[in-house]
Amino acid sequence: MSPKGVTLNTNSHKIKFARRFIRTLLRMRKNAPSSSSIEEIRKRSQRIKIAAYSSMAHAVGSRRAWSRAILFKLRNRARHHGMMRRRSMKKRVIKNDPPGDQSQTNKLRQLVPGGKAMDMCSLLEETAHYIRCLSTQVKVMQTIADHFSK
Amino acid sequence: MENEFFLNPALHFEPPSASIMATWHSLSAAMDIQIQGTEQSQDCFFSSNADQSVHFDSALSSMVSSPAASANNVSNDSFVIRELIGKLGNIGNNSANNSCYSTPLNSPPKQLSLPMTDHLVKENLPSLGKSMPLNSCVAEFSADPGFAERAARFSRFGSRSFNGRTGQLGLNNTEFQKKPNLLMGNGNQNLPRVCSSPSLKAQGSQTGAQENKNSSPLQDSQEESTISEQNPNGDSNSRKRKAVSRGKKEPPSSSPSANATKVGEANDNSKAKRSKPNEDNGNGNGNGPVKAEDETQKSSADKTNAKPPEPPKDYIHVRARRGQATDSHSLAERVRREKISERMKLLQDLVPGCNKVTGKALMLDEIINYVQSLQRQVEFLSMKLASVNTRMDASMDSLFSKDIFQSNNNLPHPIFPLDSSASAFYGQQPQQNPALHSNISNGTVTQCSVDPIDTALCQSLSMQLLPLNGFSESVAQYPNFGEDDLQTIVQMGLGQNPSRETALQPQSFHGSNQIPHMKVEQ
């Protein structure tokens, strides 16, 4: 099934993502020492997670709104990472909405990157594509983890 | 002009030709038509529709050649007119593309009753315009010289001139007059309501003009149904008339006695339908071909209605369905809603286990849960990769060459990578469980390896380390999500009952197998 809005997640996405991700993992391996402390592992896992999302976004390219949102976020992060730590700390004020009041669309908007500025129709479309890419990502990561854990 | 002629006399075939005869009897008397048929041609007409072409030729010749008075109890004029209509119907049968025409023609001859009643005539007269299909008939008729004569005479029935020539036809003319006004008026009125764009209106006016040209306003909507067949993309007018015609097609298959009421009903129905564009017309009666054509028309109408953005121009053409508001706001709203429902269907296919769920709210819940679970899986896997990184060797190249591309090549058979992963997990568990047991028993060393996983569990899964019952329940909620990794982590983290683990494993295995199947089908 390939309806007009959502394109097929072909092999190309998978391959691109896999390549990028593994390259990033290798780089991380080289840079960071392999320590087993919890903090290190947590930091590394966080970095790996970001690497996974960014490589997926790069694999998809700028075609999709959610991938654009991720790339934009990454670039901003890279820009402000060193310079404006204070500001970024301020920006991390989380709105404490009572969980019951959150509507479902709002939840979905929070889940899908870039979903806050979309209307319902395109939000659903982006969600569909995002789900496809996420599942691809999970599969590849699982394969990699499986390979390493053998 | 000839068109108008041919359409008018042949207008009505649905009621039994008895009524037709009576009708035309009165008309022809006024028009002073001297056409008369023979008994022979009558027999041909009534006897069988199978040999229609033959009868047609013979009847034509008989009609054209000599107006011999028939000795029947039927009046000559009415008989002749009946014949005319019969011939028109035969032509319709002969022509290739008029399946609908055949059925009304087939049915009435069987039901013909020679005695006619005037009241039938009067009632049927207004519905005359709605019956016969004549696009093809017209062409073939025009070749006939005799009919050309009558065409000239009957051309007074033409729509444009029709309203002007009241005096010629007498009483029945007024009825004729009312109907065209009704038809055209309603048609024109309906146009602005339905059209969501000026382009459609232009089309509608064009078709309105076309209708004027081609036929009298009494003219059958069946003819317009042919037009609509030719223009499937969208004459709103033709589709409306199609709805009317469907109502009109019902009477032909009914018995003559019931016809009066039915025609009356059909008239009312047609009026009601004209006021609102009609999509669904219950075809209570119906011969097979009539129904088939109705259904094809309906399906084509449904198709075109199902995809409102059918753009000949830049506007989105939306069709207001029966019983729905037709102002622009609600139309746009409906388009938006349809788009959203379309996307929800897509998502329903993507998210496993959503086939039974109906309703936007539940679907959204499922979608949100699924996305959250996927994101948790990513987080967990990254945690796992981070912890496993310690064991990463220069086997990266082998990884590059083997696994990823193998999994990519196996995309048509995606079950294999998951098989390998799942089997790997299977293989891991007996190894890891004793390892964990030993770790736990040791205490210190295990803290490094087990704790991150546990904390990851707590954080990412947001589950507490309940007894395995709780875990099995929560895992069972997502049987299809293929969270075999979650289960294995559960088992690794808890290091409990191997029997429960084995019980859970097949479930997860099957669940994970289901997902690739679903994804391949896309």
ipTM entry: 0.86
CB A142 within 8 A of CB B488: no
Q: Centre a 10 Å sphere on the Cβ of residue B168 and count the other Cβ atoms it contains.
A: 13
Most confident listed range (B39-53, B224-238, B369-383, B440-454): B369-383
Identity of the residue numbered B59: A
Could you say which residues from 472 to 511 on chain B have a Cβ atom under 8 Å away from some Cβ of chain A? 485
Give me the count of residues in chain B. 522
Nearest CA among A131, A108, A122 for reference residue B368? A108
Distances (CA, A) of A63 to A58, A66, A126: 10, 9, 11
Q: Do A14 and B408 touch (CB under 8 A)?
A: yes
Quote the CA–CA distance of B310 and B59 in Å, as a whole number.
47
Q: Does B378 touch chain A (CB under 8 A)?
A: yes
Instruction: Please tell me what DSSP assigns to residue B127.
Output: G
CB B463 within 8 A of CB B490: no
List, for residues B67-79, the tens digit of each pLDDT value. Answer: 444 444 445 555 5
Beta-strand (E) ranges in B114-221?
none
Q: Residue B373 — very low, low, confident or very high, per pLDDT cuts 50/70/90?
A: very high
Instruction: Please tell me what DSSP assigns to residue B517.
Output: H
CB B229 within 8 A of CB B292: no
Q: Residue A100 — very low, low, confident or very high, per pLDDT cuts 50/70/90?
A: low
Helices (H) and strands (E) counted in chain B, each on its own, are 26, 0
Distances (CA, A) of B159 to A33, B24, B155, B178, B226: 93, 18, 9, 12, 19
Q: What is the pLDDT of residue B501?
A: 41
List, for residues B197-236, the tens digit of each pLDDT value. Answer: 444 444 444 444 444 444 444 444 444 444 444 444 444 4
List, for residues B151-194, the tens digit of each pLDDT value. Answer: 555 555 544 444 444 444 444 444 444 444 444 444 444 444 44
CA A5, A10, A14, A19 dihedral sign is negative
Q: What is the largest CA-CA distance in chain B?
A: 121
Q: Which residues of A touch B391 (CB under 8 A)?
A: 148-149
- Structure-token pair, residue B149: 């004569």
Which of A37, A147, A150 to mutate: most B Cβ within 10 Å? A147
The model carries a pTM of 0.40
- Structure-token pair, residue B433: 């469980």
Q: Does B382 touch chain A (CB under 8 A)?
A: yes
Distances (CA, A) of B447 to A36, A41, A43, B310, B455: 11, 13, 18, 64, 11
- Ranking A13-27, A33-47, B238-252 by mean pLDDT, the lowest is B238-252
Q: What is the pLDDT of residue B473?
A: 45
Sequence-ordered alpha helix ranges (H) in B196-308 = 198-214, 221-230, 236-249, 256-275, 288-306
User: Rounded to a whole number, what is the distance in Å from the CA of A65 to chain B's nearest CA?
Assistant: 16
Q: Do B389 and A25 touch (CB under 8 A)?
A: yes
Quote the CA–CA distance of A102 and A104 in Å, as a whole number.
6
What are the contacts of B337-340 at 24+ separation with CB within 8 A? B338/B308, B339/A121, B340/A120, B340/A121, B340/A124
Residue found under tokens 């007059």: B177
Q: What is the pLDDT of residue A19?
A: 85
Ordered DSSP codes for B359-371: SHHHHHHHHHHHH
CB A132 within 8 A of CB A12: no
Quote the CA–CA distance of A41 and A47 in Å, as a whole number.
10
Give the one of A44, A125, A138 whose C-beta lies nearest to B378's C-beta.
A138
Q: What is the pLDDT of residue B88?
A: 54
Minimal-distance CA residue of chain A relative to B512: A139
Quote the CA–CA distance of A125 and A118 in Å, as a whole number.
10
Q: What is the pLDDT of residue A116?
A: 82
Q: What is the pLDDT of residue B384?
A: 84
Minimal-distance CA residue of chain A relative to B351: A131
Quote the CA–CA distance of B359 and B357 in Å, as a whole number.
7
Distances (CA, A) of B469 to B279, B429, B434, B486: 55, 19, 21, 15
3-state DSSP assignment of residue A122: helix
List, for residues B490-519, the tens digit of each pLDDT value. Answer: 444 444 444 444 444 444 444 444 444 444
- Structure-token pair, residue A61: 């390219």
- Structure-token pair, residue B29: 């008397």
